[in-house]
Structure 1
Amino acid sequence: MVLRREPTARHMRLGIELRRLREGAGLTTIEAAALLGANRVQITQIESGLAGVSEERLRRLASHYDCTDQEFIDALAAMATDRTRGWWEEYRGQLPTSFLDLAELEHHATYLHEVSILYVPGLLQTEDYARAVFSARVPELTPEELELRVGHRMRRQEITVAYESVIHESALRIRVSDRAASRAQLVRLLELSESDDISVRVIPFDLDGFASAASTMAYAGGPVPRLDTVVRDVPHGSAFIDSEAQLTAFRTRFRKVEAVSLDPGQSRDFINRLTKEL
């Protein structure tokens, strides 16, 4: 069994789900290994994402774990047999792994929801806006590192699934660069909001009772709800959240934030007014 030197977040998620199934069945790693004629170290390596697992072995484990959710099993099998080497692999060794994991997650998502309070979401940023955001990083990036991050962010925008973004007015008004760059960013939002696959909604400052200022998040839909993922920004990069209780909580958060936002048409009018102010 060839071990991975650097398992991706997708590899680790597969392992986490297999571990959850095993623990739910009340089996130890030794007992699970006996079902495959393997040893406990191999089970541990699979569950940590360090080693792959064949579709046949995965389905055998799911059967022994008494998992009857066939859609979920099929989704896990697709993850286990996926050999995709996406564009993000070009950046391996050049950017932090979290950048690659995020791009891979978005590539496989069935839909994307995002709530942003202070910045325009990365998937909607212009190149100048993205460069200004990365330029503010401490410690400062070298010119080469800066351009790698900007280029990666622009490539991430080649998404093909439905994307809904809820943006607070503060993110639209904060000038991360100069007036011209801010106006170009607003114009870009207006252009993108006309797309059939992209929805942009705005939360204005004068909204009463908005108590969800800490709800910044990105929510990626999986092939089945149990494989959804929430992404939160943390000091060292991005944190992937996937426990069932947390996913349920974040779905509720998004619905509440969405419910108090302006509808897409009203949001376009709002952004257009801000554009004229610049």
Structure 2
Amino acid sequence: MSARNPPGARPRSFITSKYEFQFAHVPALLQTEDYARDTFVNSGESYTEEEIETLVKVRMRQQQRLFDKPRIKLHALIHESILQREIGQEQIFRLIELADLRNVTIQVVPQSTKMPPGLSGSAVILSFDDADEPDVAFTDTLVELVEIQEKRRVGIVRNTLRRLEATALSPQATVSLLKETT
């Protein structure tokens, strides 16, 4: 891996917050090692075992940002259907554990929530410690991950996430729901 970042790439160390909605998977920063491995194995990509282990190690290293200073602030909105799948007790316990961190907010979006127009998958907004570095959004489509840097369009994604947040269970009710599933 190159020590330099490709043009337009941002070093993760400068990310101060991540605001996201996940429709299909537990958010990456909240995944257990086994869940992350299963995610890569079942991704539809043709990863070798060695590549999968490397990807899992990278994901686990990225999670250290939840604990090491400067800590990333994470607000994760998780669609309830994720919890209704077989994600494993270890993953549920991990979500409960991480929900106790001051810099982590986890909320479940009920299955009954109508998805906002234009949202067909997951959405993420990253904010940076450099005031001159604008927020960036990513949205999933069927075939690609779309990066959005234009302030107005990032605002549309932010407003969509806020609408989902308004329909989501409170962080406390989310933990109660998680505890009920164990």
Tell me the TM-score range normalised by the shorter chain.
Answer: 0.7 to 0.9
Q: Is the 8 A contact 1:112 1:220 kept in 2?
A: yes
Distance apart, 1:214 and its partner CA: 2.3
Q: How far apart in 1 are the matches of 2:31 and 2:80? A: 15
Question: Which amino acid in structure 2 is aligned with residue 119 of structure 1?
Answer: H
Q: Which residue of 2 aligns with 1:62?
A: none
Q: SS where residue 157 of structure 1 aligns?
A: helix
Q: How far apart in 1 are the matches of 2:115 and 2:124? A: 18
Q: Which residue of 2 aligns with 1:194?
A: 100
Q: Structure 1 residues 147, 107: CA separation in 2 closer, same or farther (over 3 Å shift)?
A: same
Q: How far apart in 1 are the matches of 2:104 and 2:23? A: 18
Aligned counterpart in structure 2 of residue 129 of structure 1, from 22, 30, 35: 35
Please state which structure has a larger fraction of its residues in helix.
1
Distance apart, 1:6 and its partner CA: 10
Question: Which amino acid in structure 1 is aligned with residue 103 of structure 2?
Answer: D
Question: How does 1:242-253 map onto structure 2 within 5 Å?
Answer: 242-253=149-160
Q: Structure 1 residues 6, 148: CA separation in 2 closer, same or farther (over 3 Å shift)?
A: closer
Q: How far apart in 2 are the matches of 1:139 and 1:161? A: 29
Q: Report sequence identity in percent.
A: 26
Distance apart, 1:139 and its partner CA: 4.0
Q: Is the 8 A contact 1:226 1:244 kept in 2?
A: no
Aligned counterpart in structure 2 of residue 117 of structure 1, from 20, 23, 29: 23
Q: Is the 8 A contact 2:40 2:52 kept in 1?
A: yes
State the aligned residue count: 173
Q: Is the 8 A contact 2:121 2:141 kept in 1?
A: no
Q: How far apart in 2 are the matches of 1:236 and 1:8? A: 25
Question: Which amino acid in structure 2 is aligned with residue 163 of structure 1?
Answer: L
Q: Structure 1 residues 150, 226: CA separation in 2 closer, same or farther (over 3 Å shift)?
A: closer
Q: Does 1:170 align with 2:81?
A: yes
Question: How does 1:159-238 map onto structure 2 within 5 Å?
Answer: 159=65, 160-175=71-86, 182-207=88-113, 210-212=114-116, 214=120, 216-222=122-128, 223-224=130-131, 227-233=134-140, 238=145
Q: SS where residue 181 of structure 2 aligns?
A: helix
Q: Which residue of 2 aligns with 1:259?
A: 166
Please state which structure has a larger fraction of its residues in strand.
2
| Larger RCO (CA under 8 A, 6+ residues apart) | 2
Q: How far apart in 1 are the matches of 2:45 and 2:121? A: 26
Q: Is the 8 A contact 1:112 1:163 kept in 2?
A: yes
Distance apart, 1:113 and its partner CA: 0.5
Q: TM-score, normalised by structure 2?
A: 0.84
Q: Does 1:8 align with 2:5?
A: yes
Q: Which residue of 2 aligns with 1:65?
A: none
Q: Which residue of 1 aligns with 2:68?
A: none
Q: Which residue of 1 aligns with 2:178?
A: 271
Q: TM-score, normalised by structure 1?
A: 0.57
Q: How far apart in 2 are the matches of 1:253 and 1:107? A: 26
Q: Is the 8 A contact 1:232 1:240 kept in 2?
A: yes
Unaligned runs of 5+ in 1: 13-100, 177-181
Q: Which moved more, 1:122-131 or 1:167-176?
A: 167-176
Unaligned runs of 5+ in 2: 66-70
Q: How far apart in 1 are the matches of 2:35 and 2:86? A: 9
Q: How far apart in 2 are the matches of 1:147 and 1:236? A: 24
